[in-house]
A = this chain, B = another copy of it.
Amino acid sequence: MTAKGQETRQRIVAAAAQLMFERGVADTTIEDVRTLAQVSNSQVYHYFADKTALVRAVIEYQTDAVIEPQEQLFARLDTLDGLREWRNFAVARQRELNCRGGCPIASLTSQLAEHDEAARLQLSHSFARWSAGLRSGLAAMHAAGRLHPDADPEALALSLLASLQGGMLITQLNRDTRPLEVALDSTLAYIESLTVP
């Protein structure tokens, strides 16, 4: 694909992601995407055989959009300070958004998981990638003997991700970051209780 081709494809995916986030997958047509991205019908169909192919690309796009900004922070999750930085980043992000919209990957999950088996598997991989990012720092902490030998870095990473997701849901409903803060702080306090002085 040429650089110009990649740019066009990316513009189509970004437009589709925006519309599917704002109005939902079911209420987004190829025609809406075409109009927002300012491309022709034949350009859309050059890159995407159908709406299903576009949905796949949107899941990939949103997964990158959610996880990539956290990657620098993942590397520092081997200390309590690093965990707090990640917690603060997640809370600040919701504050910036005025607690609107919730997590784009969670939103795609509730729309697609029961209707599109390939999308469910793809979203499951998105969460596995996210969880692996959180786990790496905790595993380093564990390997260095700074977490109790019985602590399970993989379980702690899943717990952090679950608190983040559940906290974001209630934060979205209440338009208040407190539920997210409280949920993450409980999990961080639990991890702290497992540290070895």
Contact = CB atoms under 8 A, between A and B. Distances in A.
A138 B98 CA distance: 31
B101 A106 contact: no
A191 to B, nearest CB: 9
A6 interface: no
Specify which of A22, A156, A182 lies most central, judged by the most chain B CB atoms within 10 Å of its CB: A182
Interface residues of A, number: 48
Contacts of A102: 109-110, 113
Contacts of A186: 155-156, 159, 187, 190
A24 interface: yes
B183 A162 contact: yes
A82 interface: no
Contact of A113 (B109, B115, B161, B172): B172
A167 B178 CA distance: 19
Specify which of A115, A166, A187 lies most central, judged by the most chain B CB atoms within 10 Å of its CB: A166
A169 B123 CA distance: 11
A100 interface: yes
Specify which of A27, A106, A169, A172 lies most central, judged by the most chain B CB atoms within 10 Å of its CB: A169
Interface of A: 22-24, 26-27, 100-102, 106-107, 109-111, 113-115, 120, 123-124, 127, 155-156, 158-159, 161-167, 169-170, 172-175, 178-180, 182-183, 185-187, 189-190, 193
Given A24-B111, A162-B166, 5 more contacts: A101-B114, A155-B185, A163-B166, A186-B187, A190-B193
